[in-house]
Amino acid sequence: MTQTANSNLTEAQCLDANDPLANRRDHFLLPAEQIYLNGNSLGPLPVAAQQQARVLVEQQWGEDLISSWNKHGWIDMPVACGEKLAPLLGAAPGQVVCCDSVSINLFKLLTAALTLNETRSVVLSTSDNFPTDLYMVQGLQELLGEQRCQLRTVATGELSASLDSSVAVLMLTQVDFRSGAMLDIRKLTAKAHEVGALVLWDLSHSAGVVPLQLDSWDVDFAVGCGYKYLNGGPGAPAFLYVNARLQADIRQPLCGWMGHKAPFDFTSEYEQAGGIARFLTGTPPILSMGVLSAALDVFAGIDAQQLRDKSLALANTFLASVDAIDELKSLQLISPRDPEQRGGQLAYAHDEAYAICQALAAQGVQTDFRSPNLLRFGFSPLFLSHVDVVTAVQKLQEVITQQRYVEPQFRQRKKVT
């Protein structure tokens, strides 16, 4: 080991010793000898989630069967899960519910927002927004016609100038899934409101890592993912937020029975539930919801600012370690250097990004690749240490200097990349 590597390691150990979140590592089951820098894509398994999965399957489903809807509160889980999450979003009770996927929640909220602002039709977004967000607007445009819904995309730098009185909804993702660049929700929301537009924020790469103040920023609508930094498990229910001030006037189009005022009256006319429950559609996936609920308990007693501080500190350790190594100059940072301008990840461009990602995984460092040439490193604050990060950079250095990535097995593209 070189002297620099040694001193990096000593410094990392020191940072770990002073990390107030260090003890949360024990709340997760992670494979031995693996460094997981992919918590921004699929959070790892919390111990409590594994235990709850067993209870749900073996005891609640297996033994208590249908009585569990009442006995174990299954029927209330979407709203209860939403309330558990609300503090991390800066939301007072009654405004968050866990359900469906981000895509479906976008559909519900976009349609509701367009109906609230019905003299306008434009949904303004950025051209590099996460594809599903743009696809959902494209689908809605086809369904409703351009008179009612029209997607307009611009570069991030042109957002302010593009906000005019034709915009019905400003639909943005706070943290860019590629670069990690972070938008200012408070400012953009205020600007949108000035021209009479509503806002819909996608918080998929924010919830659980970036402090949010949806109420005090006066956000109208938001959606986000349950399986990234929230560690809710593969395909975990997503969440949605609707500001209380809008709830009285609002209707959503996927008005299934779970959003009905009295689903078990089985009346033939839809009458929407009061409050946030009206955004539900069909029967909740109880196994997934129960796992997400247990995963959210890991955040109990943690302030969102602590998550942010830890995540940025880890990213800083990574950035400084990469910067210090000459052989890593071929990696081109595409994330903002200024920590205030980014979320919980760093992304680097490299022509061999895919193969490097595979070769790193073979060395026990899991990261991800995003087409066409990005290597993405996620700094999830609850289970990573600074020593993990320094070790990961050492492995990255080995893979690149020894050109391990040229081996043919690392160059075969799989279905999920």
Ligand X SMILES: *Cc1c(COP(=O)(O)O)cnc(C)c1O
130 near ligand X (CB under 6 A): yes
Decide if 227 is catalytic. Answer: yes
Closer residue to ligand X, CB minimum distance, 130 or 299: 130
Structure tokens at 377: 């490193």
Within residues 316-375, the interface with ligand X by CB under 6 A covers: none
Start-to-end C-alpha separation, the chain: 32
| Of positions 8, 150, 204, 397, contacts ligand X by CB under 6 A | 204
Which one from 36, 130, 348, 383 is the annotated catalytic residue? 130
Q: Angle, to 10 degrees, between the axis of helix 131-144 and the axis of helix 102-116?
A: 50
| Of positions 68, 173, 231, 358, contacts ligand X by CB under 6 A | 173
Stretch that binds ligand X, among 101-109, 182-190, 367-375, 396-404 (CB under 6 A): 101-109
Give min distance, CB of 202 to ligand X, in A.
5
Residues 335 and 179: beta-carbon distance below 8 Å: yes
Closer residue to ligand X, CB minimum distance, 60 or 126: 126
| Of positions 101, 115, 213, 373, contacts ligand X by CB under 6 A | 101
| Of positions 120, 205, 342, 350, contacts ligand X by CB under 6 A | 205
239 near ligand X (CB under 6 A): no
* Count of all residues that appear for the chain in the document: 417
Closer residue to ligand X, CB minimum distance, 204 or 363: 204
156 near ligand X (CB under 6 A): no
241 near ligand X (CB under 6 A): no
Give min distance, CB of 52 to ligand X, in A.
21
Decide if 107 is catalytic. Answer: no
Decide if 24 is catalytic. Answer: no
Decide if 152 is catalytic. Answer: no
177 near ligand X (CB under 6 A): yes
183 near ligand X (CB under 6 A): no
Residues 99 and 149: beta-carbon distance below 8 Å: no
Give min distance, CB of 402 to ligand X, in A.
33
DSSP-derived pairing of the beta strands 221-224 and 45-46: unpaired
132 near ligand X (CB under 6 A): yes
209 near ligand X (CB under 6 A): no
| Of positions 45, 86, 89, 102, contacts ligand X by CB under 6 A | 102
Decide if 19 is catalytic. Answer: no
Distances (CA, A) of 205 to 42, 108, 164, 225: 11, 20, 28, 8
Which one from 376, 377, 383, 404 is the annotated catalytic residue? 376
Stretch that binds ligand X, among 201-209, 264-272, 297-305, 335-343 (CB under 6 A): 201-209
| Of positions 79, 83, 107, 202, contacts ligand X by CB under 6 A | 202
Give min distance, CB of 180 to ligand X, in A.
11
Give min distance, CB of 226 to ligand X, in A.
8
Closer residue to ligand X, CB minimum distance, 206 or 321: 206
Q: What is the C-alpha separation between 117 and 112, in angstroms, rounded?
A: 9
238 near ligand X (CB under 6 A): yes
Give me the active site residues, please: 130, 202, 227-228, 376
User: In the complex, which residues of this chain contact ligand X (CB under 6 A)?
Assistant: 101-103, 130, 132-133, 173, 177, 202, 204-205, 225, 238
